[in-house]
Amino acid sequence: MYEDKTLVCKDCGNEFVFTAGEQEFYAEKGFQNEPQRCKACRDARKAAGRAQKELFTTTCANCGKEAKVPFQPSDDRPVYCSECFAAMKQQ
C-alpha cells in the first residue's frame, strides 16, 4: 500500500527516506503532514529545546563518594549519591 518516499529536509537540505512503515505509523496516528526534517535535524531540534541542567559536585553524606546533583547543595541538609539515595528509598 505504501512505498518509500524520498523527501528533502527543510533545515539541512539533505534527502531522507520516509519509509512505508513510517507512513503507515503516521496514518495510524492520524498525522496529516509528512515529516519536514531528517532524523538528525529532528533530534537536534529536540535537544535544543531542552535546557541543559547545571550539575553541582558534592560529597555523599552516607558513603563519602563524589555525587553530582542538579541543585545547589546547602549545609543544612545531607546530600546522597544516586546509589545511596536509591538504597534509602527502598527501605
* Prediction pTM value: 0.54
**Beta-carbon count within 10 A of 23 CB:** 18
**pLDDT value of residue 59:** 93
Residues 14 and 35 in one domain: yes
Between CA 19 and CA 4 the distance in angstroms is 4
Specify whether 39 is located in the same domain as 11. Answer: yes
pLDDT for 8-58, tens place per residue?
999 999 999 999 999 999 999 999 999 999 999 999 998 887 777 789 999
Together in a domain, 10 and 45: yes
One domain for residues 22 and 37? yes
- Same domain assignment for residues 45 and 60: no
Q: Which long-range contacts (CB under 8 A, 24 or more apart) does 11-19 make?
A: 11/37, 11/38, 11/41, 11/45, 12/38, 12/40, 12/41, 14/38
pLDDT at 23: 96
Domain that includes residue 85, residue range: 56-90
**Residue 7 — pLDDT band, cuts 50, 70, 90?**
very high
pLDDT score recorded for residue 63 = 95
Number of independent structural domains in the chain? 2
